[in-house]
Structure 1
């Protein structure tokens, strides 16, 4: 007998509209010793760090982006006189003022030039470079970190939908869960699914019971926070590490319109974590990471293409926030990577490694050799309070 669970797991994943739904992303948990919490949010689709964290103080920005990343004059929120925050993250400004929000510009994984979302995301979650054994690329850096934590164990959880994230895949015990949700689809998406399932009454009837059609479309109202709410509830218990993903960051065209809802979901997720964790927020670090950045120049469609250097967002009561961390490479002539992208100045894995070292006492030698093979962590960025 077909059930909603079976449909969500098998049939609906075939449709782009459904695959992009925020509730189709699995959240994974693991228990770890100590009282600190770590939440890793994977931003799938290559978030444009230059639009999220706008370097309006760089004189080259305006020529590269005549209609994007306008800075405070275009409604962005000034942070420090050089960088401004995209207006759609405005609800996070109280966290910035409280020292619970920070950004790192010009970071990337070792991935270069091929610009594949799938490969870039795999390397981000594996935590490796491209020159390590394939077997290591098939496990996640959070799982390898758990393998070095005495007393780490899995928390009982549930899985539905997309299955485990690579980030926590591997021998260390970790479980998966994602919420059972009704999908609210636009009429266009309804017609797409109707075409897909027209000749299969089993899927056609089951899909009809699983989907709530809403004129005008849009995500389920619980979408932006359902996963974060559940993560907070588990992190208030035995779990100490949670990881989930948010989609919608691929902005090749109409970036101004496409980026707004993605940023709103990210903002809502972070605020839901803060609210749900209550006193435990003070012991929490959130890292929001993406597979690569986007081109420094906007394209002819009002968007940006796949690039290299991007931005890392940090939040939580355990960070030393209210600041932009790291160096700025510049956007002028001779300063771009391959004359097209923001130049990465530090490996984004270093910040994840320093988080693991500070929160869970992970040994630097093991972090550089096993958790993030080939990484040079460099100097302590002082990201934790």
Structure 2
């Protein structure tokens, strides 16, 4: 899908030091709810995460029978990591368990958007656009949330300070596309440039094209903060090394005192129709390492940081004939950060008996992801519920924000 704000024109494409795109920035938004200086990161898992494997309901008597060979246990060679007396987390996620026990992480189970079909493309459109139906790909709910934030003091528009949103990756995720201005960054896939290249280009453009010179300076500054000149991409968004690297670079930019406050990343490859055990172990390890990277790099602002991890839908409750799972409905979302009131699995557990499954095949949805985001909007940024219902998630006037999920 194309992004209106990411057209590769002469004045937009930078490519220096991993900074891909930059343009004029609006002032930083005003101080948010309860005097916070918040950071909000949304991570999209594309391909539909199996929530019953990521956060297995070990205490449900029907779980093991439905899961068969891929069921997780609290004993054995690779035991699941307990969260409470009923839920555990996948053994590839020790950082999440550590943060959960420290009260800085929570899981939201049996969660879903309002979408009830099983198309990846349509499900991702609904998840990221925030509209009740697919086909709305012009703007995402996170960008509209940024538009709704009050503006704060003016900052120098010629530097990364003042950027209101950060899009990580070679293409901005739909969830953050829109009118609100963005800074774009991705780890460089090119050989590092000679040290004197940037100064030479800056001198050339300073004489001939001041606007492009300003953008070049922006790109160099972004690259220095995010990763340094010597960091080349280690892997893509479906690889553990790539996930960690994207998270670490994003965190460095977000930790900058006057840098972006809101960011979006997308990790790929979560469609586990076959051999799910091996594939999810690798992917969840990358996601878990990204949590640790954010924690390590955010520094003092970690205390006001909230990371939301969401996917388009879940997987079937039963495994298929290739030790995988097919497209389902409800799944697990994650909340991580010092701003999260953690140590909890948030859910109204629907059960896994035949008559409790959605359409006799899927974990039934009992929590709307949009209510979770609305709760973050109210408690982290002080946004009005009416704005969230009519602008950020149009048509959700009857869906109340989930309160009490933040400290």
Give the structure-1-normalised TM-score.
0.78
Structure 2 residue aligned with 1:54 = 56
Structure 1 residue aligned with 2:402 = 380
Structure 2 residue aligned with 1:269 = 290
Q: Is the 8 A contact 1:32 1:239 kept in 2?
A: no
Pick aligned residue for 2:251 from 218, 232, 249: 232
Give runs of aligned pairs for residues 234-383 of structure 1, distance below 5 A. 234-237=253-256, 238-375=259-396, 376-378=398-400, 380-383=402-405
Partner of 2:287, secondary structure, is helix
Tell me the CA shift for residue 259 of structure 1: 0.4
Alpha-carbon distance in 2 for matches of 1:305, 1:374:
30
Q: Is the 8 A contact 1:101 1:315 kept in 2?
A: yes
The alignment status of 1:128 with 2:131, answered yes or no, reads yes
Q: Is the 8 A contact 2:238 2:268 kept in 1?
A: no
Give runs of aligned pairs for residues 104-183 of structure 1, distance below 5 A. 104-113=108-117, 115-130=118-133, 137-151=137-151, 155=163, 162-181=170-189
Alpha-carbon distance in 2 for matches of 1:308, 1:127:
17
Query: Gaps (5+ residues) in structure 2?
Result: 1-7, 9-17, 32-36, 155-161, 192-231
Q: Is the 8 A contact 1:105 1:328 kept in 2?
A: yes
1:248–1:348 CA distance, 2 compared to 1 (3 A): same
1:90–1:173 CA distance, 2 compared to 1 (3 A): same
1:48–1:160 CA distance, 2 compared to 1 (3 A): closer
C-alpha deviations, 1:8-62, integer Å up to 9, x for none? Answer: x9xxxxxxxxxxxxx9x99999953331110100011101000001001111111
1:158–1:345 CA distance, 2 compared to 1 (3 A): closer
Alpha-carbon distance in 2 for matches of 1:295, 1:160:
30
C-alpha deviations, 1:283-329, integer Å up to 9, x for none? Answer: 10000000000000011100000100011101000011011012100
Alpha-carbon distance in 1 for matches of 2:240, 2:171:
23
1:304–1:27 CA distance, 2 compared to 1 (3 A): farther
1:160–1:53 CA distance, 2 compared to 1 (3 A): closer
Q: Is the 8 A contact 2:58 2:87 kept in 1?
A: yes
Q: Is the 8 A contact 1:103 1:312 kept in 2?
A: yes
Query: Gaps (5+ residues) in structure 1?
Result: 1-8, 10-22, 184-211
Tell me the CA shift for residue 273 of structure 1: 0.4
Partner of 2:92, secondary structure, is helix
1:92–1:380 CA distance, 2 compared to 1 (3 A): closer
Alpha-carbon distance in 2 for matches of 1:329, 1:301:
27
Q: Is the 8 A contact 1:123 1:130 kept in 2?
A: yes
User: What RMSD over aligned residues (CA atoms) do the two structures have, in Å?
Assistant: 3.0
1:218–1:352 CA distance, 2 compared to 1 (3 A): closer
Give the structure-2-normalised TM-score.
0.74
Structure 2 residue aligned with 1:98 = 102
C-alpha deviations, 1:243-294, integer Å up to 9, x for none? Answer: 1011121110000001011001101111000000011111100000000000
Q: Is the 8 A contact 2:164 2:181 kept in 1?
A: no
1:226–1:33 CA distance, 2 compared to 1 (3 A): farther
Alpha-carbon distance in 2 for matches of 1:312, 1:83:
14
- Segments ≥4 residues shifted beyond 4 Å: 25-31, 156-161, 217-222
1:160–1:299 CA distance, 2 compared to 1 (3 A): closer
Q: Is the 8 A contact 1:26 1:165 kept in 2?
A: no
1:161–1:310 CA distance, 2 compared to 1 (3 A): closer
C-alpha deviations, 1:133-170, integer Å up to 9, x for none? Answer: x5x55210011111111217962999897422211111
Partner of 2:264, secondary structure, is strand
Partner of 1:88, secondary structure, is coil
**Equivalent residues, number:** 328
Q: Is the 8 A contact 1:26 1:245 kept in 2?
A: no
